[in-house]
Amino acid sequence: MRNILLESLQQLPVEEQLVELVERKGVGHPDSICDAIMEAISVELCRAYLNTFGSVRHHNIDKALLVAGRTSPRLGGGTVDEPMRLIFGDRAIYEFRGKHIPVGEIAEATAKAWIRGHLRFVNPDQHMIFQNEIKPGSPELTDIFDREEIGANDTSAGVGYAPLTETERLVLAAERYLNSTSFKAAYPSAGEDVKVMGYRHGRELVLTVALAFVDRFIHSEKEYFERKAAIREELQAFVEREQRSLDRITVDINTLDAPGRGEGGMYLTVLGTSAEGADCGQVGRGNKVNGVISFNRPMSTEAAAGKNPVSHVGKIYNLLSHKIADEVYRTVPGIREVYIWLCSQIGVPIDRPLIASAHLNLLPGVALEDIQGQVIEVVERELADIYNFTDRLARGEFSVW
């Protein structure tokens, strides 16, 4: 029997609280670049391990540092003066039963492929230096993968929730819209480094957007501010079409800008990302596994990106808790908001957490006793299916940022 506990919350749902803050770091943000690349490397390592050994082997490559380079943005096009450096870190199996896996080569090739596919103006052969610091794993953690029943490789907890609030949904949608293929075709000067901060007060939402402009498409200060105004109007219209229950939405873009100060008063980049010369990046400092950083919600401090999908509960439980919460919310009537907590014990099989807890915010007139059986059934079913879930994780079917 699994240890599943239910609790009824006596609090306002986040949607009804007076103030809500939500952030989303886009695909070209230095932290998102680290998360995305290390997760892609984990997926490729899983594929290599399965093809070579028939099973996923130990790896936790959830450490990466993107060291900013140095550029000189200029109206009409600047220069890259010093490349960025991406340092791959932590642990992975290089050899098993006499067979070798070229971990470093896989990491670099995967990183280059991801950059070419997501950052239009970054040439990984010219603008990046790659440094492999992935070392072999410790004997005890490596041995977990040779046991008859693979257990959790850490004592850790994960938490997920459902549904997304209007603010969370719009912040996520805004960044994805700005980084969509159609938007880039219409506004090629908009770089991939986008950050959206949503501040809701009552039924009014303010979206503050940081958007890197690509300097080769901007030839004057006047053109920059005209282009920014057009993008603001486009985004304003988009979020107003997408909103469902808000009274007012305000969109502000690049609020540090100062007309009349030339290039120093505009957010210009050469490559479309602040990592080229302003900001470093690191795994785990970006979005949570559901794509946003929501300050009104409980959240794990674990960095899911790059952790192995077979035994590392810092990855598995954080993604699975969101999946369970969504399933509970969609299938069990009478729930306004649900939070799922999962906690492991190192060495214990991942389908048997130390505790699985559901915190439920119920509609008026609904008692916990009315729905507890249905909720427990969903949690039991999802935990029983956890190894299918981890197989899908290993194939990269779920985004972790």
Burial class (CB in 10 A: 0-12, 13-18, 19+), 356: buried
Closest CA to 86 of 57, 60, 122: 122
**What would the pLDDT profile of 154-209 be if each residue is shown by its tens digit?**
899 999 999 999 999 999 999 999 999 999 999 999 999 999 999 999 999 999 99
Residue 235: phi, psi to the nearest 5? -70, -40
Give the chain's residues under pLDDT 50: none
Dihedral sign computed on CA atoms, order 111, 78, 255, 166: negative
* DSSP string for residues in 161-228: EES--HHHHHHHHHHHHHTSHHHHHH-TTEEEEEEEEEEEETTEEEEEEEEEEEGGG--SHHHHHHHH
User: What letter represents residue 106's amino acid?
Assistant: I
Q: Where are the domains of the chain?
A: 4-25+155-164+286-394, 30-146, 173-281
Q: Are 263 and 73 in contact (CB under 8 A)?
A: yes
Whether residue 136 contacts residue 314, with contact meaning beta carbons closer than 8 Å, is answered with no
Short-list 153, 132, 157, 155, CA closest to 58: 153
pLDDT, position 383: 97
pLDDT of residue 139: 54
Look up residue 189 and give its amino acid.
S
Report the pLDDT value the prediction gives residue 144, as an integer from 0 to 100.
66
Beta-bridge partners for 8 = 360
The pLDDT of residue 150 = 80
Residue pair 46/309 in contact (Cβ under 8 Å)? The answer is: yes
pTM more than 0.85: yes
Whole-angstrom CA distances from 100 to 87, 95, 105, 137, 249 are 22, 4, 12, 15, 55
Distance separating alpha carbons of residues 28 and 325, to the nearest angstrom: 29
Q: What is residue 270's predicted lDDT score, i.e. its pLDDT?
A: 98
Q: Do 173-281 and 4-25+155-164+286-394 have the same topology in CATH? A: yes
For domain 173-281, give its CATH number from 3.55.50.30, 3.30.300.340, 1.10.3720.10, 3.40.50.800: 3.30.300.340
Class of domain 30-146 (CATH, top level) = alpha beta
CATH number of 4-25+155-164+286-394: 3.30.300.280
**Amino acid code (one letter) for 297:** R
What was the pLDDT predicted at 149? 76
Q: Which residues contact 56 (CB under 8 A, 6 or more apart)?
A: 46, 49, 50, 145, 308, 309, 310, 394
Q: What is the pLDDT of residues 98-132, one digit of tens each?
A: 899 999 999 999 999 999 999 999 999 999 999 99
